[in-house]
Amino acid sequence: MLIIIGQSLISGILMGGIYALVSIGLTLIFGVMNVVNFAHGEFLMIAMYITFWVFHYFQIDPYVSLLIVTPALFLIGVVTQRYLIQHLIQAEHYTQIFATVGLSTIMANAALFFWKADYRMVKTAYGTSTLNFSDLVVSYPRLISFLVAIGITVLLFLFLKRTYLGRAIRATAQDITGAKLMGVNINRVYIFTFGLGSACVGVAGALLMPIYYAFPTVGLHFVLTAFVVVVLGGMGNITGALFGGLVIGVVEAFSGFFIAPELKEAVYFVIFVLVLLVKPSGLFGLTKG
């Protein structure tokens, strides 16, 4: 039993790192721009397809393709923000929801039209490789994905804390008027933030390809999980998104094994509701008085 618990814990933590990386991009955008991007999952889907086609046509390893996918998603995010999201920042929340849900529908159906509904996966030599620690087995691709996800999270945290642009982003999130008075170009901060959030989900998409399939609606599962993680961790809280992702990964692993695989999403949604009833601001959110 201890071996089963240990294996479930390891599997949950490793998958939680991916959930955290997807969620960090979402919470960063919301924290700065106060816009919930319901097309965030489709950005992940696009990143996964780019990784697949780069591997299929050029035989570029998914981890190497991070150098291509990450800037590509950054540019896609910048264009999306400039020509769509920018016009929604001052709009009502229902307008933002309809617009981003509409973008999500367009992207998913465009992928279905051009690439069909086939499941596509990158098969690498290390895809089934494992590391064995006594009776515990660690998937090599999942371990790499987890370490890269944690590394990206730490770098993003340091960027926001130590650089001028990072401090400008945090200032904009805290007080737009004060940031403007200090000479911060708010529109440029918005563009860069949305691009950065999209780049984070681009990294997650590339990391997922050796262990997951790409198909037009793949983003739906991950974006629903990301919303749970973001709210649990506190909207706009990057550290909360990291720990929230790890918590959801572990809960999913344990519930999938000990209860039923088809009920694992239901379990963490129940936990999600219970947490909101006790602490509406999330586990790491600030309670406003």
Interval 241-263: pLDDT, tens: 888 899 899 998 888 888 887 88
User: 2-117+135-278 is classed in which CATH architecture?
Assistant: Orthogonal Bundle (1.10)
DSSP type of residue 136: E
Q: What is the pTM of this model?
A: 0.92
Q: What is the pLDDT of residues 192-242, one digit of tens each?
A: 999 999 999 999 999 999 989 999 999 988 888 998 898 888 777 888 888
Domain parsing of the chain, residue ranges: 2-117+135-278
Rounded distance between C-alpha atoms, residue 78 and residue 170, angstroms: 19
Q: Which secondary structure element, helix H or strand E, spans residue 28, and what is its range?
A: helix 2-33
If you write DSSP's letter for every residue of 102-117 in order, what string do you get?
HHHHHHHHHHHHHHTT
